[in-house]
Amino acid sequence: MVWCLVGNLSDVHAKSLGQVGPVYAIIETSVTERQKPNQKHRSQSFEPMSLPTALTETEQHLDLSYTVPWDITDAEGNIIYPEGYRFNPLEHRRFRTMIVIDGSDESQVDWADTLEDAADPMTRIVITQGDIAAVSQRFKRLVYRLHPQVAQRFRIENVPTIVQQKGAVLAVKAIPVN
């Protein structure tokens, strides 16, 4: 059967079918070309953060629950979520552990490299300062820069810090490197 298919390929010829109607130049830019300015903007949209080094171990717990302030209805007016409904995303999705370090401080990079969590490919390595490319090469994966809104939302005040899910809350633990 395969031989029949291969044998028939010698009779196949490509040829021009001609032009039917007017031909116009393509003026649309490719998707990759359209994304380049956005990528440049995203990578330069904020400056590296400078956070103090943790001197003592601290841990705080964040509850990400949201309470609906009014009834949420569908198009017919049926209530989907009543006012006061409480939603916690951590009850439905697993939060990926995040290790936040100062990438310009070699002792913090070495410390993070010894962590068991750092070996997990699902763990996010995030730096406040330093060379992203060098730290990425060290950990053999993508490394991210800490965005100020993320630092504020997760109350990250010192480095190094580990943000992990513990049940239905996030534990934000600053750990001094000795």
Low-confidence stretches of the chain (pLDDT < 50) are none
Give the model's pLDDT for residue 16.
Answer: 83
E strand or H helix that includes residue 172: strand 169-174
Give the model's pLDDT for residue 95.
Answer: 94
Give the model's pLDDT for residue 101.
Answer: 97
Beta strands, E only, 38-168: 58-62, 66-67, 72-73, 79-81, 86-87, 98-101, 124-127, 143-145, 161-166
Beta-bridged to residue 87, according to DSSP, are 66
Give the model's pLDDT for residue 45.
Answer: 56
Give the model's pLDDT for residue 85.
Answer: 95
> In b/e form, how buried is each residue of 4-36, taking b as 16+ CB within 10 angstroms?
eeeeeeeeeeeeeeeeeeeeeeeeeeeeeeeee
| Domains of the chain in sequence order | 58-174 (3.40.30)
Is the full-model pTM beyond 0.75? no
Alpha helices by DSSP H, the chain: 2-7, 31-43, 106-114, 116-119, 132-139, 148-153
Give the model's pLDDT for residue 36.
Answer: 73
Give the model's pLDDT for residue 33.
Answer: 80
Give the model's pLDDT for residue 56.
Answer: 95
